[in-house]
Structure 1
């Protein structure tokens, strides 16, 4: 599979018409319906091949020792057969080797990536606005059970003793905060300027009637508080689906192009809060309820 897209820096500066546009992309391999790995995991396999050591390979590709073994375990499991073999014994405690299947996988990936580069060059030259359109096609084609699939750019990474706090700026500027493990930050390549998407189930989103002073955050423990205007209320037998168009970060009212977040609440809550099309409300959810993902 391939994912041609502009780099994070280019995506962040797409509003600058004077900046040169370059088309980028990535390739990843699948085993059946499961994604086996992209450039980062194949690079790890190649480093293991070249060094014969998981420790040296991890350093070569900028991974922690644990993250490298986690990636190896995932690849072995998804392939349905070993790709990396641990050797026991020896002065250094044994080495790490690749199976013939892993060697073929690296060769296949390199060949596909070479052809992918040629494809990108041809497509970029032939199709206007190819980079942005192809990236969008990839995002809207994503399948997940989470009702809310929100795209943004990482604006802050705060390292903690156990977990990291990642802030994602939505297109309108309002932030979403997620708490993830160090390994997830590293594996997903979450750094300032990197594009990512946030998944939030509608049942995890609470709504609060906006009867407070504009711009004043609610006094709640939940980190994410996104203000906006109700655009749709769809009632069911017990629950209702409420969609909220988000304000811009500068306090501007939402428009037809605003990011929309959806919550599932009871019909009784809709009536109690007076939620109807055009009323203002705040969507509230915990940082631990946010799942982050990247295209590669």
Structure 2
């Protein structure tokens, strides 16, 4: 198996920096201007500046700087921090490839891959539900896009995200991705009472367990394919709909409440 891990740097309040943005930094260093770099990597001037602003926000120090004078009347160059970031990225990428190549032979025949293990080890999220799957379709709109993610043979989840996010995440049919869904965003209903709804996602399952607290109830559905989906609803609501272990139920999720992540 040929493994192509993708390294990215991320922070709590900024978009991640991955291979596409590293290529932009390299283009800035090569072309000597933001406009030239944007043309080189095939994005708009505004998109290039937005990406550079996001990178500067993540690292707290500028990665590019304006230069005055010269035959072309000045331009833009990488700062020493920018140069170090590009070099560090490529070193990490090479080390990840080497590590994956060592691990893959040991995992042959187990149904696991180095990529899936690394993702599971290092991904941290506050979302109660993290469902890994494969993008099967992307439908573009004027501003947003509808992305369909197959998380099992039985279940597909639809997320609505911006077209810019589709581009930044590098999404395409066949790409692995993970749907992140906070448990309070999952609405539950008995299976026979959720036939008609405006919710884009209607996922049927069986209650695997119910844990009641003083105010809320945490209910986990088995949605098939070895996947579960957890909802947090009020204890009163849980009692009103009367769900208990073994009952068929339906999870309703607004497509705009689903966050997509990639490794």
Length-normalised TM-score, structure 2: 0.87
**CA shift in 2, pair 1:111/1:144, >3 Å:** closer
Going from structure 1 to structure 2, the CA distance change for 1:89 and 1:172 (only over 3 Å counts) comes to farther
Bigger share in strand? 2
1:156-194 deviations in Å (ceiling 9; x for gaps): 111111111111111234221111112111100111111
Q: Establish whether residue 223 from structure 1 lines up as the match of residue 181 from structure 2.
A: no
Q: Check the 8 A contact 1:223/1:285 in 2, yes or no.
A: yes
Question: Aligned to 1:23, what secondary structure does the other structure show?
Answer: coil
Q: Which runs of 5+ in 1 are unaligned?
A: 1-20, 247-253
**RMSD over aligned Cα atoms:** 3.0
- The alignment status of 1:43 with 2:43, answered yes or no, reads no
CA distance in 1 between partners of 2:252 and 2:90 (Å)? 45
Q: Which residue of 2 aligns with 1:240?
A: 217
For 1:52, the equivalent position in structure 2 comes to 32
Counterpart-to-counterpart distance in 1, 2:13 and 2:207: 38
- Measured at CA, do residues 137 and 239 of structure 1 come closer, stay the same or move farther in structure 2, by a change above 3 Å? same
Which residue does the alignment assign to 1:150? 131
Report which stretch shifted further, 174-183 or 281-290: 174-183
In structure 1, distance between residues paired with 2:25 and 2:14? 18
> Aligned equivalents of 1:164 and 1:32: distance in 2?
24
Q: How do residues 1-296 of structure 1 correspond to structure 2 at under 5 angstroms?
A: 21-29=1-9, 37-86=17-66, 95-125=75-105, 128=108, 132-141=112-121, 142-211=123-192, 218-246=195-223, 254=224, 257-295=225-263
**Cα distance per residue 1:185-210 (max 9 Å; x no partner):** 11001111111111111101100111
Count of residue correspondences: 262
TM-score w.r.t. structure 1 length? 0.78
Other structure's SS at 1:158 match = strand
More deviation, 29-38/281-290: 29-38
Gaps spanning 5+ residues in structure 2: where? none
Q: Judge conservation of contact 1:154–1:194 (CA < 8 Å) in 2.
A: yes
Note if contact 1:147-1:201 (Cα within 8 Å) is conserved in structure 2: yes
The alpha carbon displacement at 1:131 in A equals 9.4
Compute the displacement of 1:84 (Å).
Answer: 1.4
Moved more, 66-75 or 190-199: 66-75
CA distance in structure 2 between the partners assigned to 1:258 and 1:42 by the alignment = 37
